[in-house]
Structure 1
Amino acid sequence: MKVGVIDYGVGNLGSVARALEALRATPVLVDRPVDMHLNDCLILPGVGSFTDCARLLDEGGWTDAIKQEVHAFARPLLGICVGMQLLADFGTEGATSHHPRGTPGLGFVPGSVDHLGTLGCTLRLPHVGWNEITRGETPDSLFDGIPDGTDFYFTHSYAFVATDPSDVIATTDYGGPVTVAVRRGHVWGTQFHPEKSSRAGFRLLANFLAGPQC
Structure 2
Amino acid sequence: MIDIEKLKNIQNRLKAYLNLADICDIEKIRYVAGIDLTYTNPFKTPTIGIACLVVWDVEKEKVIDVFYENTTVNFPYIPTFLAFRELPLALAVAKKAQGIDAFILDGMGIIHPRRMGIATHFGIKTNSIAIGCAKSYLIGEYKKPDNFKGSYSGVYVDGELAGYALRSRKNAKEIFISPGNNISVESSLKLVLKLLDGYRIPPPTRFAHNYLKEYRKRFL
TM-score with structure 1 setting the length: 0.33
TM-score with structure 2 setting the length: 0.32
